[in-house]
Amino acid sequence: MRVETTVAARVENLAEVRAFVERACAEAGADPRAASDLKLAVDEVCANIIEHGYPGRDDGAIGIACEDENGMLRVTVTDNGRSFSPEDIPKADTSSGWEERPVGGLGWHLIRRSVDDVDYRPDPVRGNRLTLVKRLPDQD
Amino acid sequence: MEIQVERRAAVAVLAIAGSVDGATAPALVAAFREEVGGGWIRIVGDFARVDYTSSAGLRALLETVKETRQRGGDLRLAAVQPEVRRVLDLAGFTGILKLYDGVDAAVASFGA
């Protein structure tokens, strides 16, 4: 199974992105928990692209491809916006008290926590490519 | 996403329905700010009909927790559904937010 779509990089399209991932997960036989995790990760990836990749623009495009392979679902998200360095993203604070806890900065943390593998290949010429892999539990 | 506000004594109950994401979170932030700005610092978020939140929703929640607690109030959540609960867990929010099974219990927790 391989399905792909392209959406305009606008926040009002995030719901459509999640619906697309949900349909792909259903087609791949993913359990609801895996589907929820993958939806969250793809939403966060796209929200980052919209906010940081195409800042102040609404003419950017985001490509999303879902494929299943050997009990895994792989989602590839592509864009032609600004790239980033994952190692420069500050570590999220998920443990301090409410007074010290900074507001925001959780998107990348949620992506890392909700899928099994994240691979990012920035490319200013051919476009940035971020791949998420979610292992699907045996359905037997 | 839709938001309905109901006052119960000194507590503002915001019943939220739908998905909270980068598109809808600004309306949630605005609704919370309006309450706090109007002096309603004891707020219950009724999450019974919230089927999804991303980090955008978490920002709205943490901002409001800070704003209300600094004024002696709080934002407390009721009837959080499993999918949203999982995001709160992943983000470490269950350690700082007070969660209740239902709206009545959340409202009562304020001593109202």
Whether residue A140 lies inside any domain: the answer is: no
Residue A89 has pLDDT above 90, yes or no: yes
Q: What is the pLDDT of residues A104-125, one digit of tens each?
A: 999 999 999 999 999 999 998 8
Q: Can you spell out the DSSP letters for A8-44?
A: ES-GGGHHHHHHHHHHHHHHHT--HHHHHHHHHHHHH
Whether residue A36 lies inside any domain: the answer is: yes
Query: Which residue of A37, A47, A98 is in closest CB contact with B54?
Result: A47
Whether residue A77 lies inside any domain: the answer is: yes
Whether residue A105 lies inside any domain: the answer is: yes
Q: How many CB pairs under 8 A join A and B?
A: 69
Contact A109 B54 (CB under 8 A): no
For the entire predicted model, the pTM comes to 0.96
Contact A47 B65 (CB under 8 A): no
Mean pLDDT of chain A: 95
Residue A139 has pLDDT above 70, yes or no: no
Q: Scanning the structure block, which residue is given the tokens 């969660």? A: B99
Contact A101 B52 (CB under 8 A): no
Contact A14 B22 (CB under 8 A): yes
Query: Residue A121's domain is classified under what CATH number?
Result: 3.30.565.10
Q: Which domain holds residue A27?
A: 2-135
State how far the Cα of A133 lies from the Cα of A48, in Å rounded to an integer.
18
Domain count, chain A: 1
Q: What is the pLDDT of residues A31-67, one digit of tens each?
A: 999 999 999 999 999 999 999 999 999 899 999 999 9
Interacting residues of B57 by C-beta distance below 8 A, sequence separation 6+? B20, B21, B25, B28, B87
pLDDT of residue B112: 59
List the domains of chain B with CATH numbers.
2-99 (3.30.750.24)
